[in-house]
Amino acid sequence: MLHASALAPAPQHVAVIMDGNRRWARERGLPIAEGYRRGVDSLRATVRAAARAGVRRVTVYGFSTENWQRESGEVGLLMGLYAACAHAERPHLVRQGVRVEVVGDLERFPFPARAALRDLTETTRHNTRVTLALALNYSGRSEIVRAVRAVAADVQAGRLALDAVDEAALRERMYAPHAPDPELLIRTGAEHRISNFLLYQLAYTELLTLPIMWPDFDETHFDEALAAFAQRQRRYGC
């Protein structure tokens, strides 16, 4: 295998749709919880590989607004997993220089998960090696609507002139205005859609879908994704 670093510089921002945890567990006759637990291992490996490759930001789709429609027991399982992992992973993330951000609206999360995640972001906020952005209770359409409402409110209040409304004004009111657009989107699980993820930011992102389920994703797969990206000729427009 040709390593990505031998081809071209790594992308600075990689987005990931971590699909296939439930299918992976069901195909093996295992509890769904085991699929999610193994998915955490895959995320840990992804962050390690990204830091080693020089990727500066990884944004992962952890929980969409549509996921609230899942069975209540599974949602409760995920909320408990977020709280537990935020506590357990904190020392490792600090040692590795990983800064954690949350992209989305945590207000609907139960207090233990919400508090643990906010504590994690605060504890790691000075780390600079790589940023792990967790898209939680996130919707690309809702993010755009939220930004448009903020622009409209600022225009109505006289804080922003109507002729000053442009792409920059909209971006400034999104969840992570400081973040560059992803250059590469990786989706596992063999699906070929973006599922309401970073709709504004993915305008010119290279898309890579993989047939493997997320719990099987490891550092080698991440390296191979970067190598595939390095071979593409990026174009803007049609």
Contact 183, 11 (CB under 8 A): yes
Tokens of 36: 């999610």
Does residue 8 sit in helix, strand or coil?
A: coil
Give the ranges where 124-218 is alpha helix by DSSP (H).
140-156, 167-171
Pairing status of strand 13-17 against strand 206-209: unpaired
Residue 67 is among the residues annotated as catalytic for this protein: yes
Contact 190, 211 (CB under 8 A): yes
Query: Which candidate in 21, 41, 67, 127 is catalytic?
Result: 67
Residue 196 is among the residues annotated as catalytic for this protein: no
- Compute CA distances 104 → 75, 114, 146, whole Å: 17, 12, 11
Return contacts of 50-53, CB within 8 angstroms, 24+ apart: 50/14, 50/130, 50/222, 51/96, 51/97, 51/98, 51/129, 51/130, 52/219, 53/4, 53/5, 53/10, 53/222, 53/223, 53/226
Query: Which candidate in 19, 21, 137, 223 is catalytic?
Result: 19
User: 215: closest CA among 20, 77, 8, 28?
Assistant: 20
Q: Is 154 exposed, middle or buried (0-12, 13-18, 19+ CB in 10 A)?
A: middle
User: Which residues make Cβ contacts (< 8 Å) with residue 178, sequence separation at least 6?
Assistant: none
Catalytic residue positions, numbered:
19, 67
